[in-house]
Structure 1
Amino acid sequence: MATDSLIKQLQKSFRYLESARNTFTETTKLSKDNLSNLCNLSEQYSCCNKVDFQLTGLKHFSQIKTCTLAKIQVIMEKHLSQLWQEMSCLQSTHQQVAKHYDLTVNLYNQHANDLDLKMMTLDDVFHPSYAMMIEMLSDMDRVFHLEYVKRWQALQDVDYHKPESVQSLSDVWTDCKQLEEAVK
């Protein structure tokens, strides 16, 4: 009975991991336009900020630089807001992965004395040992946590005056190598 409940929980958890990986991957793909727009806007903001309008044909329009920078910043904020919405989806996914891991570990702890040691530690032809699956689940929980945190941190660090911070956000956001390797 204890073994059956652990098997069912592990199956649920691993099915959810596949779904969570797909969510992270899809969110990354859906965010590419926002990231690309942010990079372009950041470059525009930086260039506009560097231009001395007194040396151009626009020197008679004293507010043009301020208005242009404000307009670019508003559009950048819109794209950043959309990325923060995507972060809430990633946060929910990350929390669900952690929940699955916690449920599995709690179930294991409740029934540890009733579980067959051989099944817990030895692999067979059809699946790895339960201990190995719990360890893989732990690793996946850690990877999802790290993936979420690195995106959150990069989003926090965005500075309109520094195009490299926006480029860094784009690089971090689209890098799913660690997640892809962990799910294999």
Structure 2
Amino acid sequence: MGLVSDGLDRAAQRAFTRPIPKSAGAQIRYLVKQLKGTRPVAELLGVSQRTVERYVKDQIRRPRADLAQRLADAVRARWQPRIREQARRQAATSTGLMIDTRARFGFTAAPGSTDDARLRHLTLALPPEHAARLFDAQDAGATEQQLRAITAEALGEVYFRDGGRRAHGLEVEFTDVEQLDFGL
């Protein structure tokens, strides 16, 4: 995954209405229920089926650090899919996205303009159409570079071109991203 894709996933996870199970046994039981058996869970986590059965019965309580991380990621990816989809749909149709980023922005514009790239910290509300483009591209399997290009275009439209009121023809470059966070 990449910075933009992970940021969109984290934003959708903030919409969860219930906390994710904390104990390894509860997480394993959730995955067994979702994947309909211990064998698929074992294959997903890279452990034996017997190990999964021991977690289900609480015979093993504390997983190794790498297994605990894989387990938490697998549960988080499957937790409350309808809530996640509802939040994404709402952002894409009515509320839009908040973006908070610190990155280097530069642009190509008419000669004589100050187009040198510089580090900026921006917190902006992206309209629903830009949120919809980002979510559609992510669902279609877009690469991180493609998602960054869509984000740069959205930031250029909202911040630099101000919705078409100024800086016509401006092409924004979005590089050296230090921090990127989305909010629904």
Shorter-chain TM-score range = under 0.3
Higher helix share: 1
Higher strand share: 2
Question: TM-score, normalized by length of structure 2?
Answer: 0.25
Using CA pairs under 8 Å that are at least 6 residues apart, name the structure with larger relative contact order, 1 or 2: 1
Question: TM-score, normalized by length of structure 1?
Answer: 0.25
